[in-house]
Structure 1
Amino acid sequence: MNDNNTAGIDFEQLVRSIGDGVIVCDAAGAITFWNDAATRIFGFTASDALGHSLDLIIPERQRQRHWEGYHKTAATGETRYGNDLLRVPALHKEGKPLSIAFTVAMLHSPASEVTSIIAVVRDDTARWNEERALRTRVRELEAAARTETVAS
């Protein structure tokens, strides 16, 4: 469906060149699309990822919870993460931990069945590390303040 606002836009080029990682999986969870930004974030190339499951980037301790949510979303066509950011741990190809933030979208068949689940992903590791350092510093200052109060 083309209207005046989308005429002439090459959506495949848009998704391939956007700065956020775009990962598309089929309803069963196999990766069917992986853009260059996903490669930059996770280290896996499209050829590394295509046809494989998201277990490539999901830490083992998170997998069961992830797949429960994934299959529920595929079955119901409903997710709260279409508008709300989901922040979770992830893995880089080299094994280093990442923190990612993403939203979810779905593509449907003409019969309204979910055919694909799309994640639009951003590397959130720097922000997460900064917040963790700030929380640690607040705890240290609170402990020091308690110690001063007790000593007085």
Structure 2
Amino acid sequence: MTSSIDSIDFGQLVRAMGDAVIVADASGAIVVWNAAATRLFGFSEAEALGHSLDLIIPERQRSRHNEGYAKTVDTGITRYGSSLLRVPALHKDGHTLSIAFTVALLTGSQGQVGGVAAVIRDETARFNDDKALRRRLAELEQVAARSAA
């Protein structure tokens, strides 16, 4: 008996996702870039495919990212398959985004990591709201401390 999952076109699924889906090969070159990734980062699929993930990684985070990426590919271990990673990212026009994502390791028949898939969401508005709330809380704590003194 064939399940209905056998007939799913996973390319269609990736294209239809509301969240950005990016897949990079073991070297970090982008091999899948959906329409939501274009909306989020501003680069067209043609502009992104074949390029390094550095395209969307702020320069000050690139070294750390590349070290972590290489380690993940070498070991086949990541904690971000189930834990959300929140980091800054770059838009094509140069402005910074706050993104959250999880990853899936794509492995070959021998278990070697051949690529990494990421499902990414823009959390810039939430990040800015949280930052404003923390700032307001700090202000209120200062007022309360002065009043208590």
TM-score (norm 2): 0.97
Alignment of 1:83-102 (within 5 A): 83-102=82-101
Aligned to 1:35: 34
| Identical counterparts, % of pairs | 60
Q: Say which SS state the counterpart of residue 86 (structure 2) adopts.
A: strand
Separation in 1 of the partners of 2:28 and 2:2?
32
The residue identity in structure 2 corresponding to 1:136 is R
Separation in 1 of the partners of 2:14 and 2:114?
18
Q: Say which SS state the counterpart of residue 7 (structure 2) adopts.
A: coil
Matched, 1:56 2:52: no
The residue identity in structure 1 corresponding to 2:140 is L
Aligned to 2:64: 65
The residue identity in structure 2 corresponding to 1:109 is G
Q: Per-residue deviation at 1:11? A: 1.1
Aligned to 1:15: 14
Q: Per-residue deviation at 1:36? A: 0.3
Separation in 2 of the partners of 1:144 and 1:5?
61
Runs of 4 or more consecutive aligned structure 1 residues displaced over 2 Å after TM superposition:
none
Q: Per-residue deviation at 1:3? A: 5.0
The residue identity in structure 2 corresponding to 1:15 is V
The residue identity in structure 2 corresponding to 1:35 is N
Gaps of 5+ in 1: none
Separation in 2 of the partners of 1:121 and 1:89?
12
Q: Per-residue deviation at 1:70? A: 0.3
The residue identity in structure 2 corresponding to 1:123 is D
Aligned to 2:115: 116
What is the alpha-carbon root mean square deviation over aligned residues? 1.1
Separation in 1 of the partners of 2:2 and 2:102?
26
Separation in 1 of the partners of 2:98 and 2:11?
27
Aligned to 1:149: 148
The residue identity in structure 2 corresponding to 1:126 is A
The residue identity in structure 1 corresponding to 2:108 is S
Q: Per-residue deviation at 1:5? A: 4.5
Separation in 2 of the partners of 1:97 and 1:89?
6
Q: Per-residue deviation at 1:83? A: 0.3
Separation in 2 of the partners of 1:147 and 1:112?
61
